[in-house]
Structure 1
């Protein structure tokens, strides 16, 4: 497998050769464990975004990066091994599963793919459906041998964000403009950022647009798409911005992530905010 994505057809062919993680999560949506129990890719282990893929809210925003040692234990409990590819999926346009993709890459696992189109693509491709809460079969630190080596993907922190040549805000346009803010106490955006909402990365079928379409989309927003570009992305809490990171990776651009994102930025009232 090459690139950050895998199709449902490819997963059907490789299913026995990969570790599959179900990252069902949706802001304000149905419970992930309940959705997992109702139906999931056979053999997939459930991963909880709030407990496995983030530390508690506080310093660092609403979804701070998880402690690396705790993340390692969670991934081992899901059977993640250094010598075995990992496929992650969700039913939320890849917005939650992207967090697992990025964290595994950040911690040193090179063979991680996001299922393009997610759960619906799997079902449409005729993939088998397993039911039941087999999440209970997890055994911390017994199934996998994954060793977390943080620092393998670029990040940018609050003190350096304003120096990034090209900064992307991946939130919805109305949140970027500061017209509404449903989650954080301050509305607006980081000055100098350009808005490329994650939804624009996808075609009507819920899969990522072609590289040619993505290149045109990002170029129109003023984002260089050559491999020498210095680009970073942020969102509300550092989760959904990974979607833009993945889109840029499809173009050969290794974008940095501001993990704390807007929810971290606004914790210091001295930091400037913009509205358009």
Structure 2
């Protein structure tokens, strides 16, 4: 199944009978409640809302796992069932326009064994731009039969990163270049990157309209990414966005470092590199 769907194609799918589930995951880092506010102001008719911070992330008291640890499988299963996801459902995930939070839910569903999932390329901006109808009516909670079976997509953790690099694999950090270099760090308490990582800012994969660039361009910009490599970012969200782009470009079996930089720096014994030095 193609991982991306256009607004025009989605409109056609919504007009057909079948088990299509639309989930809105609008999100803005550092602005709790923003996504739900946008959803209530107008969403694709029938879409359920899921919150990235409270429902697509877990919260660990010891701080490990970074800023957005993966949700526990039973919690994720409960949320997807509330949205009406069944084993045979096709799920379309939607955010406002950046593909960031859509990438998170796309990855989580695939990782937990649900293959029939697509992301609306360009999000709500593309939907309304194409004349798509919006609704302010929130659907009732459903009771799907989705079962979470984690392990469908590869992951790596901090302890596996050194061996991956030593074996010739790549760790691609998709944060902005200034954060990777350590020139600026507006979010996490330590600036820099994991020694041995390379940098490919996720912004280089995005079109001005908020969707991904054409597939052929994605292939060119992701050239060199191979099965067994891994992708990281600040907390796992942008890395999921890039893995969605990679899948659209036909690149499979690339691992996610779920905790990413915000997890790496929780252990002060781990080395840190900047543009000019490593410690």
Specify the SS of the correspondent of 1:21.
Answer: strand
Tell me, in whole angstroms, the C-alpha distance in 1 between the residues paired with 2:183 and 2:162.
Answer: 22
- Residues of 1 paired with 2:127 and 2:83: CA distance? 20
Q: Which residue of 2 aligns with 1:27?
A: 29
Q: TM-score, normalised by structure 2?
A: 0.91
Give aligned pairs, total: 264
Question: Equivalent residue for 1:244?
Answer: 242
Q: How far apart are the structure 1 equivalents of 2:162 and 2:7?
A: 39
- Check if 1:101 corresponds to 2:106: yes
- 2:274 is aligned to 275
What residue number does 2:173 align with? 169
Deviations 1:38-85 (A, max 9, x none): 000000000011111000152211111001001100110011111010
Instruction: Give the whole-Å Cα distance in 2 for the aligned partners of 1:31 and 1:269.
Output: 33
Q: 2-side partners of 1:252 and 1:167: how far apart? A: 19
Partners of 1:99 and 1:239 within 8 A in 2 = yes
Determine if contact 2:182/2:191 at 8 Å carries over to the other structure.
yes
The one-character-per-residue Cα deviations of 1:83-112 (angstroms, maximum 9, x if unpaired) are 010000101411011111111111000000
- Aligned-residue CA RMSD in angstroms? 1.4
For residue 91 of structure 1, give the secondary structure of its aligned residue in structure 2. Answer: coil
Which one of 175, 181, 185 corresponds to residue 181 of structure 1? 185
Provide Cα deviations, 1:186-241, integer angstroms capped at 9, x if missing partner: 1001111111111111122222112221122123xxx245xxx3221011111111
Do the aligned residues in 1 keep the contact of 2:99 with 2:210 (CA within 8 Å)?
no
Unaligned runs of 5+ residues in structure 2 are: none
- Please point out which of 175, 197, 201 is paired with 1:197: 201
Rounded to whole Å, the distance in 2 between the matches of 1:224 and 1:28 is 30
TM value normalised by structure 1: 0.92
